[in-house]
Amino acid sequence: MRELLLAVESPVGAWGVAGNEAGLTRIYMPHEPFTPTVGDVSCVTAAATQLTDYFAGVRRTFEVELAPVPATEFQRDVWRALRAIPYGEVLTYGEVAAAVRRPNASRAVGNANHANPWPVIIPCHRVVASTGLGGYGGGVDVKRYLLGLEGVSVAS
């Protein structure tokens, strides 16, 4: 399948939106290298538009088709739980672990967040440590920006 990769600008750098006819395959964070391509894959174009709207502060939810990706059942459970966290709200890693019925799996939730191929679309930035901000695959400054865009302030 032909894959399209579009760049979406944000105040913290360019994000890459990749996908094919099956759906979005990946969102590249600003620190990750990617090379945009030319073409037209409707789900990628729609996702790029929706991300642009999100960064402009006019979109709070995403309606995009996600392509099947290799993942464990636990990762899929965590990603479903992340999609249920409303815009402008956060949960701790422990609260997400409890939500997926694995109350002692806080660290595994962090690993599942790190494996999330669709950051922002599946809002792993909305998961924080019980003691503050916690980590983020795109860096804590990007996480702080995303949460700030949503009106959330979390101590570092």
| Greatest Cα-to-Cα distance within the chain, rounded to the nearest angstrom | 45
- Active-site residue, from 109, 124, 128, 149: 124
| Residue 43 annotated as catalytic | no
Q: Which residue has the tokens 């979109």?
A: 59
Q: What does the alpha-carbon distance between residue 17 and residue 139 come to, in Å, rounded to a whole number?
A: 18
Helix pair 106-115, 73-83: axis angle to 10 deg: 80
- Contact assessment for residue 18 and residue 3, using Cβ atoms and an 8 Å cutoff: yes
Name the amino acid, one letter, at 128: V
Active site members: 124
